Copies of this chain bind each other. A is one copy, B any other.
């Protein structure tokens, strides 16, 4: 077929790029580093959004919207924050174009220079905490639990579709609390929501943990994360949740009157996931034939392809398919009949495989006569003859099976590619082979950076689930004492 992919073994990175483009998920735009999310890709993102949005609301959060622009002076108010974001900012300096006096199109009007430059938000802590200052007066105003769905811009030099783009879509939660304990509980709750979403909907077996100091969000006291293993053994950070302490409350002077009437600074969290999740979803499950989608996030669950020679056969097959489709849709399945008249069935099969539709049903005149269909599973690439009678219930159960199977497959892969390593030689060998390494670490940023310099591996997280890591030992690099193992890996 025309849309052949590079295989994962030949070039994993090229396979990913090919897949994103050929499965109609996204493409590079005319603007450096910015992508166009195509309808099929956007439909998956919408399913992610709707699921997450409901989870946020079920945990008491409301949506709101804050400006795209951040005054330059706001960024500077939290020292670590500006340090973290200043180097990759899109800066608005003017508010008008004018005709070029030489007649060649339009140019920036020098008379329309802004008094203060505006930064396109790379994240919204500063503009939001400047707003919260007016919203929070008393303990009765707390907790304040707000989420925003928005676009943000970080001017990355090396970009890749979904994984790292100059503009991306995300949600950012920003909450305010009366006590440190409440804020920490919120940050933990939300990383838990992310882990549940990744595991149950994306079918990605993430590890929950804390970031080491050097990998923390700029301005956070503690960063929680979910980390996923891709099929090349590299890690992908799929979501983060930050305990911000009182850093932003102090930077923007946000205090509340407690029950005794005394003023105290507010405690904060922020948490976000982005269109990067699309990258995790694609890389976790897909194969050399294309995308493999978990049924819970697939825009189309079932595609039906009629196989016929005569117009009469065609009419009879499509009539039967329409009846099956109606029954399936009534039970919540999304079904497409691929009735295009200019393509052979084999071409259609390959195309829907490429697009990761979990279940394909083909039907020819003999199937029609026998009351059967040929049913193919995308995850296993197996085919079966299945009775038309009861087909909807069969497919509903199949969706659950596929969802479970691809989760289990990803989990098995991760288990098989995660090992305890206690010697520096083995560390260097295994990290090149694409493993998560559970190692002792002496807790210093110095050691972490040296390991990164020598191997490109970083501490992905200090796990709080998935592995038993609490045991005394010696740092794999420095030999100094360590109370627990952490996860090292190369990362996206």
* Chain A residues packing against B (C-beta within 8 Å): 27, 29-31, 34-39, 42-43, 45-46, 62-76, 82, 86-99, 105-106, 108, 117-120, 127, 130-131, 134, 140, 146, 150-151, 153, 155, 167, 169, 342
Residue in B31, B71, B91, B96 whose CB lies within 8 Å of A67: B31
Q: How far is A415 from B67 in the complex, measured between Cα atoms in Å?
A: 39
Q: Are B92 and A97 in contact (CB under 8 A)?
A: no
Q: Are B118 and A97 in contact (CB under 8 A)?
A: no
Q: How far is A117 from B92 in the complex, measured between Cα atoms in Å?
A: 10
Residue in B105, B118, B127 whose CB lies within 8 Å of A90: B118
Q: Known contacts A39-B62, A87-B96, A120-B120; can you find 14 more A-B pairs with CB under 8 A?
A: A30-B74, A38-B64, A39-B63, A42-B64, A42-B65, A65-B169, A75-B97, A89-B96, A90-B92, A90-B94, A91-B94, A92-B92, A92-B120, A97-B119
Q: How far is A96 from B98 in the complex, measured between Cα atoms in Å?
A: 25
Q: Closest residue to A77 on the B side, CB-wise?
A: B105
- List 10 A-B pairs, minimum CB-CB distance, nearest first: A39-B62, A34-B67, A86-B97, A37-B65, A95-B155, A91-B94, A76-B105, A93-B93, A31-B67, A31-B69
Q: How many copies does the complex hold?
A: 2
Q: Residues of B contacting A42 with CB < 8 Å?
A: 62-65
Q: Closest residue to A100 on the B side, CB-wise?
A: B76
Most chain B CB within a 10 A radius of its CB, from A35, A63, A97: A97
Q: How far is A131 from B26 in the complex, measured between Cα atoms in Å?
A: 12
Q: Are B94 and A88 in contact (CB under 8 A)?
A: no
Q: Residues of B contacting A99 with CB < 8 Å?
A: 86
Q: Closest residue to A91 on the B side, CB-wise?
A: B94
Interface residue SS majority, chain A: mixed
Q: Are A88 and B82 in contact (CB under 8 A)?
A: no
Q: Are B97 and A72 in contact (CB under 8 A)?
A: yes
Knowing A34-B67, A65-B37, A68-B167, say if A108 contacts B131 (CB, 8 Å).
Answer: no
Q: Are A31 and B63 in contact (CB under 8 A)?
A: no
Q: Are A127 and B29 in contact (CB under 8 A)?
A: yes
Q: How far is A134 from B30 in the complex, measured between Cα atoms in Å?
A: 11
Q: Are A91 and B88 in contact (CB under 8 A)?
A: no
Q: Residues of B contacting A43 with CB < 8 Å?
A: 62-63
Q: Residues of B contacting A97 with CB < 8 Å?
A: 72, 75, 82, 86-87, 89, 91, 119
A58 CB to nearest B CB, Å: 14
Q: How far is A119 from B108 in the complex, measured between Cα atoms in Å?
A: 10
Q: Are A73 and B39 in contact (CB under 8 A)?
A: no
Q: Closest residue to A40 on the B side, CB-wise?
A: B62
Knowing A36-B131, A91-B92, say if A82 contacts B66 (CB, 8 Å).
Answer: no
A23 CB to nearest B CB, Å: 14
Q: How far is A347 from B260 in the complex, measured between Cα atoms in Å?
A: 24
Q: Are A64 and B37 in contact (CB under 8 A)?
A: yes
Q: Are B67 and A29 in contact (CB under 8 A)?
A: yes
A165 CB to nearest B CB, Å: 9
Q: How far is A118 from B30 in the complex, measured between Cα atoms in Å?
A: 11
Q: Residues of B contacting A92 with CB < 8 Å?
A: 90-93, 120
